Amino acid sequence: MEIWFSQMDTENVKTSVRVDRQLFSRQSEYQRINVFESREFGRMIVLDGEIIFSEADEFIYNEMVVHVPMAVHPCVKNVLIIGGGDGGVAKVLTQYPEIEAIDVVEPDEMFIEVSREFFPETARGFDDDRVKITNMDGLRFLRRCRDKYDLIINDSTDPFGHTEGLFTREFYGNCYRALHDDGIMVYQHGSPFYDEDEAAFRAMHRKAYQSFPVSRVYQASIPTCPAGIWMFGFASKKYHPLKDFDAQRWNERQLETWYYTTHLHKGAFMLPKYVEDILSEEEMKK
């Protein structure tokens, strides 16, 4: 018998993964949560049909959203993770001793429980004393925050469905207000390749570019993402991701990584021409 899980990358392209068994399947208040055991990617969490986390490639995403801003900002003490129910981002952040507090704002309690049960190695990011989990919608949480964080990481899934509010202009404005004067925000920028993703990609850059003085985009190759290419936004009140990047200081930390290096940090901001063109076009718009 063969079981294949398929992710619809677009209406016309799908990525299928051979699955040994389905370990969990339930509808939470927010989304359909599935956990599969696969041969190629190990265990995977699938939310509403999309692979959100796989044991084989989660390191790429988690390292890229954490180490890039951490190698730029000189002293991060307070971090907010919006989403982050799997604990992977929190786990990488806890490697930094100077961080004093990590707020994880994940509305879906069941997602966190599932992560703790099936991915204990990753979810142990939650066990660090500095981590505080709040089960609340990210946009609502942000409305009451002022001048509180050095770094905000938007680890939420998609500009559609229940996380839609996390991709609005109001959201970027609220993040801006919640950050200190030299704060940085990193957010998922999606995959720029397929036509059906392009409008969301453009809108995201336009909103961030209009909300923050510094707004750059960087990339990583993530096999389980549509087209294998994923983009991240780096929006900042003060620091530039390359001009204020301190490779030596970061290397002296001697953190173990599998994807990130300080060379790759620079390379990640050097984008394909078709992506640069999209970004420039949006920057011209008022």
Binding interface with a copy of itself (CB under 8 A):
4, 6, 10-18, 38-41, 57, 60, 193-194, 219, 221-223, 225, 227-229, 257-261, 263-264, 266-274, 276
Catalytic-labelled residue, pool 9, 57, 108, 155: 155
Q: Is 138 annotated as a binding residue?
A: yes
CB of 57 to a copy of itself, least distance (A): 8
Q: Is 224 annotated as a binding residue?
A: no
Q: Which residue, 40 or 100, has its beta carbon nearer to a copy of itself?
A: 40
1: exposed, middle or buried (Cβ count in 10 Å: 0-12, 13-18, 19+): exposed
Q: Which residues pair with 215 in a beta bridge?
A: 235
Q: Is 157 annotated as a binding residue?
A: yes
Q: Which residue, 15 or 168, has its beta carbon nearer to a copy of itself?
A: 15
CB of 279 to a copy of itself, least distance (A): 12
Q: Is 25 annotated as a binding residue?
A: no
Q: Which residue has the tokens 């009451």?
A: 144
- Contact between 234 and 241 under an 8 Å Cβ cutoff? The reply is yes
CB of 102 to a copy of itself, least distance (A): 24
CB of 23 to a copy of itself, least distance (A): 17
Q: Which residues pair with 155 in a beta bridge?
A: 83
CB of 241 to a copy of itself, least distance (A): 13
> Active site includes 155?
yes
Using CA atoms, how far apart are residues 184 and 176, in angstroms rounded to an integer?
9
Pick from 70, 87, 71, 88: nearest CA to 79:
70
Would you call 267 helix, strand, or coil by DSSP?
helix
CA distances from 250 to 10, 109, 111, 284 (A): 38, 34, 32, 34
Q: Which amino acid is at 33?
A: I
Q: Which residue, 12 or 248, has its beta carbon nearer to a copy of itself?
A: 12
CB of 172 to a copy of itself, least distance (A): 26
- Contact between 17 and 2 under an 8 Å Cβ cutoff? The reply is no
CA distances from 265 to 2, 67, 202 (A): 40, 9, 23
Conformational region of residue 164, where left means phi above 0, alpha means psi within -120 to 50, and beta covers everything else: alpha
Q: Which residue, 14 or 169, has its beta carbon nearer to a copy of itself?
A: 14
Question: What is the layout of strands, in order, in the sheet containing 131-134?
Answer: 131-134, 101-105, 78-83, 149-155, 179-190, 229-236, 214-221
Q: Which residue, 38 or 122, has its beta carbon nearer to a copy of itself?
A: 38
Q: Is 236 annotated as a binding residue?
A: no
Q: Which residue, 18 or 132, has its beta carbon nearer to a copy of itself?
A: 18
Task: Indicate the annotated binding residues.
Answer: 31, 86, 106, 137-138, 155-158
Task: Indicate the annotated binding residues for spermidine.
Answer: 86, 155-158
> Would you name the residues annotated as active-site residues?
155
Task: Indicate the annotated binding residues for S-methyl-5'-thioadenosine.
Answer: 31, 106, 137-138
